[in-house]
Amino acid sequence: MGKVAIVTGAGSGLGQATAVRLAKDGVNIAVVDVNEKGGNETVEMVKELGAEAIFIKTDVSKAEEVKNYVDQTVEHFGTIDYFFNNAGISGSGAFYLDTTIEEIDQIVGINLLGALYGVRYVAEVMLKNGGGSIVNTASSAGVIGQDSVVTYSATKHGIVGLTKSMVAEYAKDGLRVNAIAPGPTETPMVKAFYEANPEMKANATGGIPQKRLGTPEEVAELVTFLLTSKAQYINGEVIRIDGGFTNTK
């Protein structure tokens, strides 16, 4: 059997693009998402490429559901080699003092607690098997401050801390943990955010030196490189993929 990857948020956007890209290299995929329709669509896309895939419906903000997707992956495939810890939401785009406590709780639950739970349970399996590779999804908002996304930005800065600190503790045991920091990218989540906040799309695009949004496929290439054996000596890095967006800040 080939390598095995868990991809969260795999029902669309960066997760779906990465699942498909990994499948092209023969990697079997545990597709994790709260969206059944999108998740099953990804499973079919992976299978069409000749890799094996299963869908596990999950609310990543709940620790017991995160443990379940890890357990189901091991039960089905026997191991976990790669983990793209990607599930997340952006929020409403309201300024922080206009943000409800319910929205804060939701963003923190999915983006930060979900990522922490995922690393907790996946790393446990990887270390028992001699190591593995994790890529966490941070954001341009995780390396600079941005308005209208205060809670989101706080969670993504947290992802950076999670990434670096896991390496400090477990690199010696064969674990590699890196993060990506995408700028504005053409995903359904970003499109929905910009539809609700059209002035922000113009501001964002205008601030990107390459004058365009990134694509999920471009991000998937980076994630695949970082996950696989081609990047064995890259560890604890937060790699920006944003067309130069944060380089100008």
Catalogue the active-site residues.
Answer: 152
Strands (E), the chain: 4-8, 28-33, 53-57, 82-85, 132-137, 175-182, 238-241
Q: How many residues does the chain have?
A: 249
Q: How far from chain centre, in Å, is Cα 205? A: 22
Question: β-strands 82-85, 238-241: how paired?
Answer: unpaired
Read off the amino acid at residue 186: E
Which residue, among 4, 171, 191, 143, has the nearest Cα to 84 in the 3D structure?
4
Are residues 178 and 234 in contact, defined by beta-carbon separation less than 8 angstroms?
A: yes
> Using CA atoms, how far apart are residues 78 and 130, in angstroms rounded to an integer?
14
Which three-class secondary structure state does DSSP give residue 60? coil
CA angle 63, 225, 186 (to 5 degrees): 70
Q: Which residue stretches of the chain are H helix?
A: 13-24, 36-48, 63-77, 101-107, 114-128, 150-170, 188-196, 198-207, 216-227
